[in-house]
Chains A and B, each alone.
Chain A
Amino acid sequence: TQLLEQSPQFLSIQEGENLTVYCNSSSVFSSLQWYRQEPGEGPVLLVTVVTGGEVKKLKRLTFQFGDARKDSSLHITAAQPGDTGLYLCAGEASNYQLIWGAGTKLIIKP
């Protein structure tokens, strides 16, 4: 069974600080996706990383896929209150299924 361990589960920091969220697995994924979910809504895709070692940037968010395609990280620089939300990672298994991390609830205090 493929599992994705996401950490931390909860993070509360001050505006302007940096943070990193991690997703780790012992399994290889063909791609890894990061989502953000707001209360009462479904997850919304932020980025997909496909190649081992790949780095993608989305404004202040930097996503990295591990060389072995087993782990990924999301780094936010100078966090803003608008970044508050639930961040989810999901790995794509060979049968098109998404294997999900448990999520990181992020609160950015002004």
Chain B
Amino acid sequence: EAGVTQFPSHSVIEKGQTVTLRCDPISGHDNLYWYRRVMGKEIKFLLHFVKESKQDESGMPNNRFLAERTGGTYSTLKVQPAELEDSGVYFCASSPKAFSTDTQYFGPGTRLTVL
């Protein structure tokens, strides 16, 4: 069974540009999470989808970040316009059943560098 995949693995963009990160969770997983790790700091929660619905987006930094999960399958996280402080590693994770404490399986992350 394929694990969580993320695309791209690296992205380097200039301040003001737009970037879209993609996450493909493990097939059939209801829960999809986005996290971010800024250099030297701890991983921080961004948001949680249950199927196609946003269950908790309290960790989203501001309205430059937009996440979607089409049909409850893959998810995208768009940053528009990107700022320097958005640089970091963005992780996606999925877990099987909605509203349970199943193990979260993490993707390899997308390293975003904003110049």
Contact = CB atoms under 8 A, between A and B. Distances in A.
Nearest to A90: B43
A98 B91 CA distance: 13
Interface string A42-84: 1111001000000000000000000000000000000000000
Interface residues of A, number: 23
Interface stretch (B12-20, B73-81, B104-112): B104-112
B38 to A, nearest CB: 11
Contacts, number: 51
B56 A42 contact: no
A40 B45 contact: no
Interface residues of B, number: 24
Given A31-B101, A42-B91, A92-B101, A98 B45 contact: yes
A41 B108 contact: yes
A96 B106 contact: no
B103 A97 contact: no
Contacts of A102: 41-42
Interface string A82-110: 00000010101001111111110000000
Interface in A1-40: 4, 6, 30-31, 40
Nearest to B44: A100
Nearest to B111: A40
Interface string B25-59: 00000010101000001111100100000011011
Nearest to B98: A96
Contact of B48 (A4, A6, A96, A100): A96
Contacts of A88: 43
Nearest to A97: B45
B4 A42 contact: yes
Interface string B75-115: 00000000000000001010000010101101111000000
A96 B95 CA distance: 11
Closest 5 CB pairs of A and B: A42-B106, A100-B43, A102-B42, A100-B42, A97-B45
Interface of A: 4, 6, 30-31, 40-45, 48, 88, 90, 92, 95-103
